[in-house]
Structure 1
Amino acid sequence: MGRLSVGQVQRAGAVISAMKDDPVSEGISHPDQSSDAIEGCRFENDRQLLEAIFEASPECIKIVAPDGRLVRMNPSGLGMVEAEPGAEVEGTMVLSLIAPEFRDAWQANHERVCKGERLMWTFDIIGLRGTRRRMETHAVPIRLLDGQTGQLSITRDITVPRENELKAARLAAIIASSDDAIVSKTLDGIVTTWNAGAEKIFGYTADEIIGQPITRIIPSELHYEEEEILARIRRGLHIDHFETVRLAKDGRRIDVSVTISPMRDKSGNLIGASKVGRDITERKHAEGLQQLLIGELNHRVKNTLATVQSIANQTVHRAKSPSDFAASFGGRLQSLAKTHSLLTQSTWQGAELSELIRDQLPFGDSEDERITCSGPLVMLNAQAALHLSLVLHELATNAIKHGALSDRRGRLSIRWMVRTETERKLVLQWQERGGPTVTVPQSRGFGTTLIEKSLEAHGGVTSIRYEAEGVTCEVILPLPETETSIGGSYHRPPTEGPQGVKGLKSSQQPNTVAGKRILVVDDEPLIAMDMVASLEDEGCEIVGPATTLRRALTLVETEDIDAALLDANLAGDPVDELAAVLVRRGIPFAFVSGYGREGLPQAYQQMPLIRKPFPRQRLIDVVREMVIQDSIVVPFRKTT
């Protein structure tokens, strides 16, 4: 084929270029408007040029007669309809290749083109092998050899681009509607996109943040994270979700889980990073609450076990025989169990006094006419309910064995009221009459001590009168100013305070603590009693025991103390202040707690810890280590 002039090339491509440059119908084009181009094609060189274009084009080029039959189709078109190369398709009805739902529209557009319009539209075809494709066609009228006007069209397969568009649209919809923050940024950390989820979480609009450095939402102490992230992204690394903290527009710190992926262009070059951030503040709060509840549960269980251990120790010392021990210990254990069941019903928020009394008295399956109870509704917090239940149990046990309830003619009256002259106080009177003649006990029993210590733990007092006609006991117990009260809760101590207080080394000194003055601080009277008994058996002098923070501080300031044993909190009050005073005065101390070290004041978590329940020897060993000065890592100076 000879060399073609520029004019020949221009004339040969006139039809195709006209169709591509003007894909949308802009009016009617009469057949004779293309006649110059058609006439030009009659020259041999132009004909050869058109033939080459027709054969080599990657797009489908076809000519369709007015009745919808194919006049001619190029090889690319044959491939699109899944015909064999070189197949004779002339005479095939185009509508047979069009998907049924697109046939009416295709026929209407074909007729318009044959009347002189130039159009572009899309439709689906179904190939001879059943493959469905989305097509985009650009059609112009063309005069055929028989003088009729047909359709010349260039059609391209847009299946993949359309699917990509749909994917992009779906992705854009997901990004727009996502509650997660979805953000993109450059390799220099400049924000380039910002979705509605990011606006909702962080408070910045897209206009406010796009073009700004991402460090705008990162706390200054965490800027190093962003530097590490960008370094990894530049190496093409994906960063799986990690948990961190970000800043909202209003200054709030937000817990987030972040996933970061590198972004590449079509050529595979790194151009930035995409971030997906999820607000996990509520989840973190729930996890913290869960840990709080687990810590509280652990504390309560261990405190209960330590109480049971103390009851066993104190009961066995005073039991006259194994059977006497079994009866006394079993009764006290049942008393605790009943109160635990009652508190569980209120999720340990407290117990109503009348229900507590009914649980601790021997009513059996029916009301005992010998017992009368009267008083207003009074809600006790969990700890007060536990201690008062033991008091009622001891009084009831004594009444059944020796007092009014040991005789059918006996009577028991329990009356209570709430006084509010200066502060709210519960005043409960236990009065027995009609039983055996009462005489004053010659010795002080464990029950009497338990009653007094249990009430002292809450600032209460008791008085017992042994009158000939019966026992009268009066209990006065301070109440909260509000009508109801919630039981003590786990407390996470503040982080402020001196750091670096160390624990104790193993002692190599003589095994003696006799004569040492030991402060005992615990709000569980039975546990305190057990510690006191163990220490006194070793010859220690006891300071206290103190059941409140205020009492403990007073004792530290006014008494000579060699060492102290502290509960981690007292009725919900932390002991940070008490620990600080002990350190300041040079008095060594150890914690006795149902909490682990995470529940101790943070500044003193390395101090010795005796975990409840504890063996007696562990208590003595820790005290011995504290009072032997040269075995302590951090020296304490004893007050003079």
Structure 2
Amino acid sequence: MERLNLLLVDDNPDDRTLVIHELQKEFAGLAVDQVYQAEALEQALQARRFDLVITDYRLNWSDGLEVLRRVRAVLPDCPVIMFTGTGNEEIAVEAMKCGLDDYVVKHPKHFKRLPAAVRAALEKKRQHLALVSSEEEFRRVIRCSPVAMAIYDDEERIIFLNEKFVRVFGYTHDDLRDLDDWWERAYSDPDYRQQVRLTWQHAQEKAQRTGNDIEPHRYRVTCKDGTQRVVEMLGSIIGNKHLVILNDITQQRYADEQLLQLGAIVESTDDAIIGMNLEGIVLSWNRGAERIYGYSRDEMKGHWYGQVLPEGADNELQQILESTRQGDHVEHFETLHRRKDGKIINLSLTISPIVDADGNVAGASTIGSDITHRVSLEQQLRQAQKMEALGTLAGAIAHDFNNILTAIIGHASLLDLKLEKHDPLAENVHQILEAASRAANLTQALLGFSRKTPIETKPVSLNGIIKKVERLIVMLLKENVAYQVNLTTEDPTILADSGQIEQVLINLATNSRDAIPSGGAIRISTAVVDLDEQFVKLHGYGVPGRYASLRFSDNGVGMDERVRTRIFEPFFTTKESGRGTGLGLAIVYGIVKQHNGFITCYSEPGLGTTFQIYLPVTTRESVQRVKGPEAPPKGGHETILVAEDDEATRNLDRKILEAYGYRVIEAADGEEAIARFREHQDEIDLLFLDSIMPRRNGREVYEELISLKPGLKILFTSGYPADALGGLQGKEFRLIAKPILPTHLLKTIRDVLDEH
């Protein structure tokens, strides 16, 4: 059992406990006299001898320097270590000059160094006593000493190098005959060499004057192999001999630097790095944790980590700690935590066990990354993908339904033209046309959501559109719902289809009206804003640029998060059966997207709802177009190739065109259209092509036939009209969307044929 008689001078009981705790790990036979009063110090020094004295610097009744002087007066050979957190570099230097053996900073990361400092001081004491005993004994001791040593005489001739010196620095006695050789080889830089040499000489002269040892100094030494070591040089003058002790502290210095660097890294990272014991009590809390959670280090150290968990999630921490006790690592565990301000955040946690020197799990290290923004972006991406899929489905349904409606509306219209005004069947035909019209509006709504409806954009005033539709919105609202508007004086110009933007405002107004059960208000405001990269990154949508901002809000019942995430889905509604189709907001979403804009919704139960829309601003001036009265349809005698895969629609087109004098050549798919054109190339004046057909679509048919007959006139049709545009931008063509009224078909056919 290694014994150590220690005199511990410190008036802080907690610090005395920590010192004893650390030294008991190294010295099983530790005996401690604890002193915290001046009288007790004198009594202790007179009563017994000690192997070592450890003293604090700042004491209520004295200071560490005075304790050092008293110890030296009574026990001149007893090592003294100053262990304090209140001193500074000047005090440390003064203490070392007075014979202090070591100076250790009182800080949790330096407690581990205390046993090593004690052993070093004891070793230094033993070496000193051995030197004093006899020179021969002295040589035997230092030869095998674990510390590098050298001896030179008054003539500065080196007369001894121990084995450790040769192993550390590589120089033998043949390399170093005198101090000049040492200065030259160990300090290759002339300026640094001169500095070190003068410092050593002054320290040596002071030791000769005072009779004390040569004070320690730290230097960088170049070894024989060119590497550099950091050494602490000190010494003693024994007669005409000079003993030099060179402590290689390279690893210690490196460890200290690494510790400081590690501490700086831990403090500078944005992630929360937290240490806790196996009961979940926080032991360390870095700046990243302060930033993420909002709690300061002082607020969390010594407290239970579970206080950052949402209500009802306490079991989560217990499960993690149980896994940690088993030595398990938990990686990238995504969970919810609560900030000091009550906000719930998404975190990704990696928890690792902390193992002590005996291999036992002593605690847990937790690294937490705030992934709230990432999770939000992922949710927005999933929502966008879902809306895109719904749009594709809605567009496909509308395409097929439009073919059916074309046949219904077309045949009913032909029948209506043949019936007398007072024919009893006329009312039935009108009912068919009215029902078909409602069905056509439904398909147009689906196409609007899927962004498949062709739009005719022009520069228009956003404020002007709002003013134009204001009377209609007011009529839509209940008497107890106020209408408030605040339009920017900049009056932003947007590139838009005015009718579509009007539809957006009407649908939003209808939605707000139904959300205000007993009086309230809707508010419309506009502004011009610049969205930058920071905005896009923060909100997860948009493209940097200048936008017109349209904000539409109400103080109605609001929505919870579950409802809010689904409001733009087609056919989704919270209204009673028969009070809505669930397409109003879906249409709004489709129109905004088709105008290259962005729309978001903010809502909470009881706090109303706000729709924020951004539409790109254009620098072109707004224009107004006035349409004249439409002329009745005209016929003709030209030959038209009608390519349509739906038989009912194809037959209807043929009947309408033939009824007005045109000659019709039919084709049921793309390949047949090309074949029939080759047969009648010189006779055909116009191609009337469905954009989506089997065996070559309308675009492919057009591109082949136009090469055979440049300048050939073309009219496209589709129940899915946007698809007809693909790859044909800039070409000479017209497009007519299904379902088609016979009069509209005839007028468009005539317009295309008459174009030059």
Report the TM-score when normalising by structure 1: 0.48
Between 1 and 2, higher relative CO (CA 8 Å, sep ≥ 6) is seen in: 1
Report the TM-score when normalising by structure 2: 0.41
